[in-house]
Structure 1
């Protein structure tokens, strides 16, 4: 069985998504830092979970070659 190019490509896409997400959150931190702690906590909790959502279809594509 020959190795698929989708796995290395998917790995780089995952790393790029994480990098883009981190840059977006860090660039918003100056605004969010001015919020009270009780608003910051749920924001960062949700932001820490939301980045995982696009990974499920990407991981499926890496394994099967289909998006659904």
Structure 2
């Protein structure tokens, strides 16, 4: 069974790249205040910030493939 590509895949990839670029800029702007915190607190913050963007990714990838959000 072969599926033809849809417009959602290239648009989704561009959207994902754009959203990640904006998110990276926001996190990098927060690096100054975070840098003044103790190292263990920084570690926890960066682990959370490094993984939080994954939360909406599953539904976004499902939308790219199927056109549905669930």
TM-score by length of 2: 0.90
For structure 2, list consecutive stretches of 5 or more residues without a partner in the other structure. none
Residue 2 of structure 1 and its aligned partner are, at CA, apart by 4.0
C-alpha RMSD over aligned residues: 1.1
Q: Which residue in 2 is equivalent to 1:58?
A: 60
TM-score by length of 1: 0.92
For structure 1, list consecutive stretches of 5 or more residues without a partner in the other structure. none
Q: May I ask how many residue pairs the two structures share in their alignment? A: 68
The 4+ residue runs of structure 1 with deviation greater than 6 A are: none
